[in-house]
Structure 1
Amino acid sequence: MTAPSTTSAPHKGSHWIEQWEPEDETFWETRGKRIARRNLTFSVISEHIGFSVWSMYSVLALFMGPQYGIDPAGKFFLVAMASLVGGVMRVPYGFAVARFGGRNWTIFSAGLLLVPTVALLVVMEPGTSYSTFMVVAVLTGVGGANFASSMTNINNFYPLRLKGWALGMNAGGGNIGVAVVQLMALLVIGVAGAGHPRVLLSVYVPLIVLATVLSARYMDNLGPVRNDTGAAKEAVREGHTWIMSFLYIGTFGSFIGYSFAFGLVLQNQFGRTPLQAASLTFVGPLLGSLIRPLGGQLADRIGGAKVTLWNFGLMAVAAGAVVVASVDKSLPLFIGAFIALFVLTGIGNGSTYKMIPGIFRAQAGAKGLAGEEAAVYARRLSGAAMSLIGAVGALGGLGINLALRQSFLTVGSGTGAFVAFLVYYGVCFVVTWAVYLRRSAAGVESAAAAETKPQLSYAEV
């Protein structure tokens, strides 16, 4: 999706940087690191609020009592629609960074969050039609799309050796917006009561304005970054893009899907009140967000594929515990197993996203590329793939909420959906091993037998 360009005319304005060479250690230490960290900081702020707006319906569902006339299946469908739009919109958002500049697009996308927030302020009351709520759910999807542009932008700022940490920090800081809006809802319900959802929404209007102003003041555009339609086409044809999309459904799709659905399940399967549900729902997303950078750091140290493999194994175990708790109606086991799932999704989010640039750097080595040429190849393909992978992964949230909706309609609980999730994690474990670990060992042995220098193995991505 993006490619360096040295032939285009320089951009006008103090916020455009025309030379950017993060793989050059001298450049990085003397200038690049400071600029990259500043952009990372303010990218996180805007993405954080985007996630809060995207997940707003999962919180507002706690305020929507019987007087709203919406059954559990209808609420699951509202949050599923927000998840769908957020996933689909990630593709154009990812391209927008190179077209308009990372700073410029962050200003626009942050300001755009005012549209769904103000719309919710207007319609959030009993008597509003379900179709109106559905239209506004579509609007909240733009908050989820911010992730793609933010991750694509930050990926361009950092050298390969630090991408796991940087992308983990950026995504984790954004993901935590889900937990923060849930904590804010708990505070509002506890102080003002479940009949005052507009109090929560009113808090976010000035925060959105502040994030927009900070982005304009402190962020930069990278002039060398350009849209590369050739890289986008290559990424679509590349099998690893779709394999990683499948795995990212299991990690991020689970995180956002569970974040949207956890409170609804507690209310409808375990009979929790809005206040009781709100007092529990924020814990999982909070821990999953905070631990995401650790997943990236572990991947930097021991390899993303290895971390991802064992993470999926543990997710299957935790999902099995959720199934047992659902059948036995054990609330303590259910909460404990679900929180474990959230933590594991956070680790897996960090490790899978670290794998993406590593995979394409390994392919560059296999093609005989080295040095800056290899770095350019990896940057082009990983940038293009990230938007697609992020979009497909977000659709996992749609799948989780639709599965839970159907499970509640069919058997009156989420048990059937939880069994399906367990099976999915088992398949992800097998795919990770078969594609990125089993073949890599064979590739290293083959290279050694041919007395050639072994290329970077997929086990190290």
Structure 2
Amino acid sequence: MTTSESSKHQSSAYLPEWTPNDPVFWEREGKARAWRTLWVTTFGLTLAFAVWFMVSAIVVRLNDIGFNLSKDQLFWLTAMPGLAAGLTRLRHMFLVSVYGSRTTLTLSTLGLLIPAVGWGLAVQNPETPFWVLLSLAFLAGMGGGNFSSFMPSTSLFFPKKMQGTALGIQAGIGNFGVSMVQFLTPWVVGVNLFWFLGSKSEQWVFAGKTSTIWLQNASWVYIPWLIAAAVLSWLLIRNVPIKANMKEQLAIFGDKHTWIMTSIYMMTFGAFSGLAAAFPLLIKTLYGGFENAPLPLKFAFLGPLIGSAVRVLFGLIADKTGGAILTTISAIGMGISAVAVTFFVTPTDLTTFPMFVGTMLAIFFFSGIGNASTFRQMPVIFNPPYSAGVIGWTAAIAAFGPFIVSMLISFNLAASGNVKGFFYGLAVFCMLNLALNWWFYGRRGAEKPS
């Protein structure tokens, strides 16, 4: 491991000293730099989440503008960014410790320009092959992969006593990118924002009404902001003089708590991200066949919005209460809410739609609590730089949430014609993680109270 003693041999990209747990250093210069870095990286992470989830907002309109995709193909497009996010997070979890924050975060942000540009071009041609759409969906998932660089980076900039607050703010506001893309898309596609590029309009047919839209705006609107985020990252972020080689990082896999926290975070963020991606298409699939069917994006953005806001709030609370008790509340709430949803997934009319949305929002609410509390637990259970590695790893596995959830929903629909089995399975998974959290972290005399 390299510390401040060898910093004189490092490039100017590295800070000469970084000891945030020292109160004198923190007040003298650490606090200002840490918070400035946090706001820059949170801006970049919000955009990364928007790119990751923009596919979920686009696919619900593809068939309405002339594409001819099956239900399975649409769920595959919704699932693919989650597969990419999980795979790329496995790579990202090592990058900050090896290459530093500035280079990693700048280049990963610039890479998101590829799917942002590509989707805008693809949706303008209904003859675009499915494999091209699938590839672009995979590339969009790189935005989810960035999380496993941004969050470990932030964990290095703040003292342990503030980790829950800092990580809660970054992840919570970053998660707003999910609701932002689902809320913003219906607005931006209604205006010819990029007329100077010669972008053409599409005819959108929904509920018997035809409207003119520019669906390419759903991805192109993020291009200038991604460029700005990359520039700010390069200019304002410097690297913390803590490095670990690959062998040191791999040591986390020998600790059972790595695997326990992976399962718990899969329950919280895996469900949050998976349901956020699938929610619009789920609304359209379950309730879209009725007269005066609800517009999916009019309601779907509320789920990730609530989950993100709760994550920010409970990041602050977790620093005062500890994480384990809040994770217990999260698991119980998610399990009960998942069972409640099953009463409203086989509708015969629209009268049950408000209850369906309400119980789904309850899952998002309790997942937000768990997303905050687990990120308070991990820096307490593990010491740096291993805490950064564990955060990156757990985030990588949980990023498979959109892929796993979308595939399981698609499988349940094909096998039984409804999604009750999926939500029953989610409830059982929540109870399993409730037991793990209580035994190892929450009970009196727990091995790692957190």
> What TM-score does the superposition give when structure 1 sets the normalisation length?
0.88
Contact in 2 for aligned 1:117/1:201 (Cα 8 Å): yes
Contact in 2 for aligned 1:180/1:282 (Cα 8 Å): yes
Aligned to 1:201: 219
Deviation at 1:411, TM superposition (A): 2.4
CA distance in 1, matches of 2:190, 2:436: 45
**Among candidates 241, 251, 256, match of residue 258 of structure 2:** 241
Instruction: Output one character per residue of 1:230-254: Cα deviation in whole Å (capped at 9) or x when no partner.
Output: 4322201111101100011110001
Aligned to 1:265: 282
Contact in 2 for aligned 1:56/1:181 (Cα 8 Å): yes
1:354 aligns with 2:376: yes
Aligned to 2:207: none
CA distance in 2, matches of 1:88, 1:202: 25
CA distance in 2, matches of 1:276, 1:116: 25
Contact in 2 for aligned 1:292/1:346 (Cα 8 Å): yes
CA distance in 2, matches of 1:163, 1:274: 44
Aligned to 1:143: 143
Contact in 2 for aligned 1:321/1:333 (Cα 8 Å): no
CA distance in 2, matches of 1:3, 1:297: 31
Deviation at 1:275, TM superposition (A): 7.2
Q: Quick check: 389-398 or 66-75, which moved more?
A: 66-75
Deviation at 1:351, TM superposition (A): 0.4
Aligned-pair identity in percent equals 31
Letter in 2 for 1:53: V
**Among candidates 428, 435, 442, match of residue 445 of structure 2:** 442
Aligned to 1:379: 384
Relative distance call for 1:134 and 1:318 in structure 2 (3 A) is same
- Which sections of structure 1, spanning at least 5 residues, go unmatched? 361-377, 444-456
Deviation at 1:107, TM superposition (A): 1.1
Contact in 1 for aligned 2:272/2:304 (Cα 8 Å): yes
Contact in 1 for aligned 2:120/2:218 (Cα 8 Å): no
Deviation at 1:115, TM superposition (A): 0.8
Aligned to 2:356: 334
Aligned to 1:366: none
Contact in 1 for aligned 2:106/2:230 (Cα 8 Å): yes
Counterparts of 1:209-228 in structure 2, within 5 Å, are 209-222=227-240, 224-228=241-245
CA distance in 2, matches of 1:275, 1:127: 28
Contact in 2 for aligned 1:16/1:220 (Cα 8 Å): yes
Letter in 2 for 1:458: K
Task: Say which SS state the counterpart of residue 62 (structure 2) adopts.
Answer: coil
Aligned to 1:310: 329
Relative distance call for 1:206 and 1:113 in structure 2 (3 A) is same
**Among candidates 51, 57, 75, match of residue 49 of structure 2:** 51
Deviation at 1:424, TM superposition (A): 1.2
Deviation at 1:386, TM superposition (A): 1.4
> What TM-score does the superposition give when structure 2 sets the normalisation length?
0.90
Q: Quick check: 68-77 or 20-29, which moved more?
A: 68-77
CA distance in 2, matches of 1:198, 1:275: 23
CA distance in 1, matches of 2:9, 2:22: 21
Deviation at 1:209, TM superposition (A): 1.1
Task: Say which SS state the counterpart of residue 243 (structure 2) adopts.
Answer: strand
Deviation at 1:227, TM superposition (A): 2.2
Over aligned residues, Cα RMSD in angstroms? Answer: 1.9
**Among candidates 387, 399, 409, match of residue 404 of structure 1:** 409
Counterparts of 1:38-117 in structure 2, within 5 Å, are 38-65=36-63, 67-117=66-116
Instruction: Output one character per residue of 1:348-396: Cα deviation in whole Å (capped at 9) or x when no partner.
Output: 1010111111112xxxxxxxxxxxxxxxxx1122112111111111123
Instruction: Output one character per residue of 1:196-217: Cα deviation in whole Å (capped at 9) or x when no partner.
Output: 2112222111111111122222
Relative distance call for 1:104 and 1:428 in structure 2 (3 A) is same
Contact in 1 for aligned 2:81/2:139 (Cα 8 Å): yes
Relative distance call for 1:118 and 1:189 in structure 2 (3 A) is closer
CA distance in 2, matches of 1:342, 1:120: 28
Aligned to 1:174: 174
Letter in 1 for 2:85: G
Instruction: Output one character per residue of 1:136-195: Cα deviation in whole Å (capped at 9) or x when no partner.
Output: 111112101110100011000000000000011111121110111111112135667745
Instruction: Output one character per residue of 1:285-325: Cα deviation in whole Å (capped at 9) or x when no partner.
Output: 11111111222222211121111012100111111111112
Contact in 1 for aligned 2:94/2:249 (Cα 8 Å): no
Letter in 1 for 2:355: L
Contact in 2 for aligned 1:63/1:274 (Cα 8 Å): no
Contact in 2 for aligned 1:5/1:226 (Cα 8 Å): no
Aligned to 1:458: 448
CA distance in 2, matches of 1:3, 1:255: 37
Aligned to 1:163: 163
Query: Would you tell me which structure has more helix in proportion to its own residues?
Result: 1
CA distance in 2, matches of 1:8, 1:31: 17
Relative distance call for 1:212 and 1:430 in structure 2 (3 A) is same
Letter in 1 for 2:364: F
CA distance in 2, matches of 1:304, 1:3: 30
